[in-house]
Chain A
Amino acid sequence: MVRVKLWGSLRALADGEEWVEVEASNFKELLDALAEKYPGLKPQIKRGVSLALDGVIYREAWFTKIGPENEVILMPYMVGG
Chain B
Amino acid sequence: MAFDAQAERNFKVVGTRVTRPDGIDKVTGKAAYGADVSAPGMLHGRILRSPHAHARIVSIDTSAAKALTGVKAVVTGTDLAQPEDEAFADVAINCLARDKVLYDGHAVAAVAATSKAIAKQAIRLIKVNYEKLPHVTDVDEAMKPDAPVVQEGRALETVPAGMSQNVTTHCQFGHGDLEAGFAKADKIIERSFKTAATHQGYIEPQACMASLGSDGRGEVWCCTQGQYMVRANCAAALGVEESQLRITASEIGGGFGGKTSTFIEPVALALSRKAGKPVKIVMTRDEVLKATGPTISTSMDIKIGMTKDGRITAARGELRYSGGAYPNATVDMGAQAAFAAYDLEAVETVGWNAMTNRPKEIPYRAPGAPTAIYAVESVVDELCQELGLDPLDVRLMNAARKGTRSSYGPTFNEIGLVATLEAAKAHPHYTAPLGPNQGRGLSCGFWFNFGGNTCVSLNINDDGTIGVVEGNPDIGGSRASISMMAAEELGVPYDKVRTVIADTSSLGFNDITDGSRVTFAVGLATIEAARAAIKEMCRRVAKIWDIDEEAVIWEDGCAKPAGPNAGTHPPMTLAEIAAIAGKTGGPIAGHHEVNADGAGVSFGVHLCDTEVDRETGAVKILRYTVFQDAGKAVHPDYVEGQMQGGAVQGIGWALNEEYIYGEDGRLQNAGFLDYRVPVASDLPPIETVILEIPNPGHPYGVRGVGETPIVPPLAAVSNAVSRAAGVRMTELPMSPPRLLKAMTG
Contacts and interface: CB of A to CB of B under 8 A. Distances in A.
B348 A8 contact: yes
B367 interface: yes
Among A10, A57, A64, A75, chain B packs the most CB atoms within 10 A around the CB of A57
A8 B348 CA distance: 9
Interface in B401-427: 408-413
Contact of A56 (B157, B173, B363, B597): B597
Given A43-B156, A71-B410, A81-B514, A9 B170 contact: yes
A56 B333 CA distance: 16
A79 B363 contact: yes
Nearest to B331: A76
Contacts of B449: 80
B409 A79 contact: no
Size bracket, chain B contacts: 35 or more
B517 interface: yes
A59 B158 contact: no
A7 B599 contact: no
A1 interface: no
A23 B172 CA distance: 26
Given A13-B158, A56-B697, A80-B367, A5 B448 contact: no
B707 interface: yes
A39 to B, nearest CB: 11
Contact of B598 (A56, A73, A78): A56
Contact of B333 (A13, A52, A78): A78
A61 B596 CA distance: 9
A19 to B, nearest CB: 11
A57 B515 contact: no
A79 B595 contact: no
A59 B157 contact: no
B452 to A, nearest CB: 7
B171 A55 contact: no
A71 B410 CA distance: 7
Contacts of A10: 158
Given A7-B173, A10-B158, A56-B413, A79 B329 contact: yes
Contact of A78 (B157, B350, B450, B600): B450
A81 B363 CA distance: 5
A27 to B, nearest CB: 11
Nearest to A60: B595
A59 B363 contact: no
Contact of B597 (A5, A57, A80): A57
A73 B410 contact: yes
Interface in B707-735: 707
Interface string A39-61: 01001100000001011111111
A40 B517 CA distance: 32
Contacts of A7: 171-173, 408-409
A73 B412 CA distance: 12
A80 B173 contact: no
Interface in B162-217: 170-174, 200
Interface string B322-340: 0000000110110010000
Contacts of B158: 9-10, 12-13, 44
15 contacts: A5-B409, A8-B174, A9-B170, A44-B158, A56-B598, A57-B597, A59-B452, A59-B597, A73-B409, A75-B409, A76-B329, A78-B448, A78-B515, A80-B257, A81-B200
Interface of A: 5, 7-10, 12-13, 40, 43-44, 52, 54-61, 64, 71, 73-81
